[in-house]
Amino acid sequence: MSRLFAAWRHAPTHRRVWSLSAPMILSNLSVPLVTLVDSAVVGHLPHAHQLAAVAVGGSLYTLLVWLMGFLRMGTTGFAAQASGRRDGSALRQVLLQGLLLALGFGLLLGLLAVPLKGLALQLMQPSAELDALTRDYFHTRLFGLPAALASYALIGWLLGAQNARGPLAILLTTNLLNVVLDLWFVLGLEWGVLGAARASVIAEWSGALLGLALAARALHRHPGQIDYAQLRRWTSWRPLMAVNRDIFLRSLALQLVFFMVTVQGTRLGDATVAANALLLNGMLLTAHALDGLAHAVEALCGHAIGARDRLALRRVLVVAGGWSLLASLAFAVFFLLGGELFIRLQTDMPEVRQLAWSYLPYLAALPLIAVWSYLLDGLFIGATRAREMRDSMLLAVALSLPLGWLLQDMGNHGLWLAFLCFMLLRGVCLGGLAWRLQARQAWLAPIHGTPSGHPAKGH
């Protein structure tokens, strides 16, 4: 315990954690702000199916984007370790590889999304009005998909390079522009649901272009050059692709859970799916704020691992873990005491409000349950140990699905109970694997070469 208290009292680590996490918390909070504004603007239109269309169409689009989350997470881990080694050439290679993967996957997903969307809507069995509006909203959002994926790679690279102001600029520009255009297109020009989608597309492309400019400027501080001959060899791609593959499978399993929540909620009626969407906005608000601390863990743990600094690794985990616990407690109190106002601000539909209010205790419990999985994700990403992340997620899903089936007769209460159990199991499974690695003193052991194909340098 004395080592934990000594780590917590290390003031420079607190400063390092907050120098990265504060900008990321601000930028991350702007992400659910977009969804909140979409819900608030469309939620004041006259029909519940308009709000439900944004919720369902947005969840389908988010499913595509979040499945590509490895573009950010894999890039962060490798960039952080390259930064710890002061390897400017590897930093350039990681950035270029991330952008090339974003472009390729953006085009591929755009081609696959339309037929897969039809299958998803058949599973949901929405009303005719909801089906038509959802299709229009989703098709429009697809035009912003390549930009959204490029922003993932750029944000991950900048964060790994210990630059949190760049991601802050990208996300604030994207999301605040989205808010302004949302209000103009939906309320001013009266474009309705399509206006919300068009605002998102324009904002996503603006953020990606800004990110490219910031990355080019950041490279001036890291001298080096890309070995283009090495780039054409599979060995230079294998470490990054192996990590990305495992993060993709992990993200696919996670998105399967969120998709099942949406499907089951849709079967319970338009008002229920709308109420759940408002509550999930609260979850997104919490997750993105706590992820700011997790992002600091990714960057700082990756840097410590690249530098082979065991003491710095311990200090980062203790300091970030303590602040994450305090933040999760604050969110729980906020939703208990201010949850009704939070719902009231998003919609004036009485039926949707009443339904959402009845499920607020689940939302209040969520931050305290989910915080540990967010924090541990940051450690595993910084260490580029994606295989362990994948295995723990698959185990949590396998344990949760039978529970969800058993609780389905409880309706929406059963749905929320199953979801909370899943988030708890995520943290337990990750924690068990982290404990095993610590017992073997394996966190600083290199498990990949660098993406450039050269072995990692260590002390």
pLDDT digits (tens, 9 = 90+) for 7-23: 888 888 888 888 888 88
User: 459: pLDDT confidence band, cut at 50, 70 and 90?
Assistant: very low
User: 331: pLDDT confidence band, cut at 50, 70 and 90?
Assistant: very high
Q: What is the mean pLDDT of residues 259-283?
A: 80
Please give the mean pLDDT across all residues of the chain: 82
Higher pLDDT residue, 194 or 150?
150
Assess whether pLDDT exceeds 50 at residue 453: no
* pLDDT at 422 (0 to 100): 93
Assess whether pLDDT exceeds 80 at residue 218: yes
* pLDDT at 122 (0 to 100): 60
Q: What is the mean pLDDT of residues 28-43?
A: 66
* pLDDT at 335 (0 to 100): 92
User: 457: pLDDT confidence band, cut at 50, 70 and 90?
Assistant: very low
User: 241: pLDDT confidence band, cut at 50, 70 and 90?
Assistant: confident
User: 376: pLDDT confidence band, cut at 50, 70 and 90?
Assistant: very high
Which of 63, 68, 56 lies closest to 123, judged by CA?
Answer: 56
Q: What is the mean pLDDT of residues 41-45?
A: 68
- Tell me the CA distances in angstroms from 77 to 293, 361, 450, 451, one per residue in order: 15, 36, 11, 11
Assess whether pLDDT exceeds 90 at residue 31: no
Cα(316)–Cα(177) distance, integer angstroms: 34
* pLDDT at 43 (0 to 100): 66
* pLDDT at 330 (0 to 100): 94
Angle between helices 238-267 and 412-439 (to 10 degrees): 160
φ/ψ of residue 381, rounded to 5: -65, -45
User: 447: pLDDT confidence band, cut at 50, 70 and 90?
Assistant: low
* pLDDT at 333 (0 to 100): 94
Higher pLDDT residue, 201 or 269?
201
Higher pLDDT residue, 79 or 226?
79
Question: Mean pLDDT: which of 32-46, 71-85, 209-223, 422-436 is highest?
Answer: 422-436
* pLDDT at 224 (0 to 100): 77
Higher pLDDT residue, 350 or 444?
350
Which of 258, 154, 151, 157 lies closest to 201, judged by CA?
Answer: 151
Cα(10)–Cα(108) distance, integer angstroms: 47
The three-point CA angle 423-355-253 to 5° equals 25
* pLDDT at 306 (0 to 100): 76
Judged by phi (left if over 0) then psi (alpha if -120 to 50, else beta), residue 453 lies in left
- Tell me the CA distances in angstroms from 307 to 43, 225, 300, 455, one per residue in order: 50, 21, 10, 14
Whether the Cβ atoms of residue 448 and residue 381 lie closer than 8 Å to each other: no
Q: What is the mean pLDDT of residues 48-73?
A: 75
User: 34: pLDDT confidence band, cut at 50, 70 and 90?
Assistant: low
User: 28: pLDDT confidence band, cut at 50, 70 and 90?
Assistant: low
Q: What is the mean pLDDT of residues 127-136?
A: 71
Higher pLDDT residue, 209 or 139?
209
User: 455: pLDDT confidence band, cut at 50, 70 and 90?
Assistant: very low
Q: What is the mean pLDDT of residues 2-8?
A: 80
Higher pLDDT residue, 334 or 449?
334
Q: What's the whole-model pTM score? A: 0.71
Cα(167)–Cα(220) distance, integer angstroms: 17
pLDDT digits (tens, 9 = 90+) for 227-240: 777 777 877 788 88
* pLDDT at 231 (0 to 100): 76
User: 48: pLDDT confidence band, cut at 50, 70 and 90?
Assistant: low
What share of the chain has pLDDT > 70, as a percent? 88
The three-point CA angle 41-46-52 to 5° equals 65
Assess whether pLDDT exceeds 60 at residue 156: yes
Assess whether pLDDT exceeds 50 at residue 36: yes
